[in-house]
Chains A and B, each alone.
Chain A
Amino acid sequence: QVQLVQSGAEVKKPGASVKVSCKASGYTFTSYYMHWVRQAPGQGLEWMGIINPSGGSTSYAQKFQGRVTMTRDTSTSTVYMELSSLRSEDTAVYYCARVLVAGRAAFDIWGQGTMVTVSS
């Protein structure tokens, strides 16, 4: 079945980096963009950026420019989101979610989420 499976929870110290993976299965990897969305505890949803698995092009929210890097590995149908210079405000659940390249632009499948805790 179609699914996105994310890596496990992480605990990091301020200033460190974290790399979260999202492995896709059950569909053609390059037919869907992959987005990253985060949610701080008790807060709403915040869009972080997008990667095109076909060519690897990316676009990031201005808020994260310079701190976030999204990459992909087509051989394993996996996308990665790395966030550097972590601070306490980055404590959140990070989700990957796919959007059809040619068609409706809706997040129709989401990963299960990865909790990232930033604490000294």
Chain B
Amino acid sequence: DIQMTQSPSSLSASVGDRVTITCQASQDISNYLNWYQQKPGKAPKLLIYDASNLETGVPSRFSGSGSGTDFTFTISSLQPEDIATYYCQQYDNLPFTFGQGTRLEIK
């Protein structure tokens, strides 16, 4: 199985800050990576697909980059409604696997 390692596991930042989360795959997955946002008590929501493509309706302050084994997710200017847990997920091979999540809090 492909292991996905996300860092940090938690993050505290101020409104307006630039926030970056990284995700590393245990093997080359090309650009077969998605990012999701999950708020408490809710299902995950797709933000970024194919490593860098913004899902329709998602604010442009969210972005993704990377390929191969190393990926980055960025919020350019943190907003209060961005408080959530973020997950990366690979789909290069079954079983699809997720990173362990990054819990984002407001400082």
Say whether A and B bind each other: yes
> Which A positions have Cβ atoms within 8 angstroms of B?
35, 44-47, 50, 59, 61-62, 95, 97, 99, 104-108, 110-113
Q: Do A62 and B101 have beta carbons less than 8 Å apart?
A: no
Q: Do B98 and A45 have beta carbons less than 8 Å apart?
A: yes
Q: Do A104 and B49 have beta carbons less than 8 Å apart?
A: yes
Closest to A107 in B: B46
Chain B residues within an 8 Å CB radius of A61:
95
> Which B positions have Cβ atoms within 8 angstroms of A?
32, 34, 36, 38, 43-46, 49-50, 53, 55, 87, 89, 91, 94-101
Chain A residues within an 8 Å CB radius of B95:
47, 61-62
C-alpha spacing A44/B38, complex, angstroms: 10
C-alpha spacing A82/B99, complex, angstroms: 25
Closest to B48 in A: A106
C-alpha spacing A44/B87, complex, angstroms: 8
Q: A44-B98, A104-B53 are in contact. List 15 more A-B contacts (CB 8 A).
A: A44-B100, A44-B101, A45-B87, A47-B96, A47-B97, A59-B94, A61-B95, A97-B43, A97-B44, A104-B49, A105-B34, A106-B55, A107-B46, A108-B55, A110-B44
A41 to chain B, nearest CB (A): 12
C-alpha spacing A21/B87, complex, angstroms: 25
Q: Do A111 and B43 have beta carbons less than 8 Å apart?
A: yes
Chain B residues within an 8 Å CB radius of A112:
43
Q: Do A35 and B96 have beta carbons less than 8 Å apart?
A: yes
Among B32, B34, B97, contact of A107 (Cβ-Cβ < 8 Å)? B34
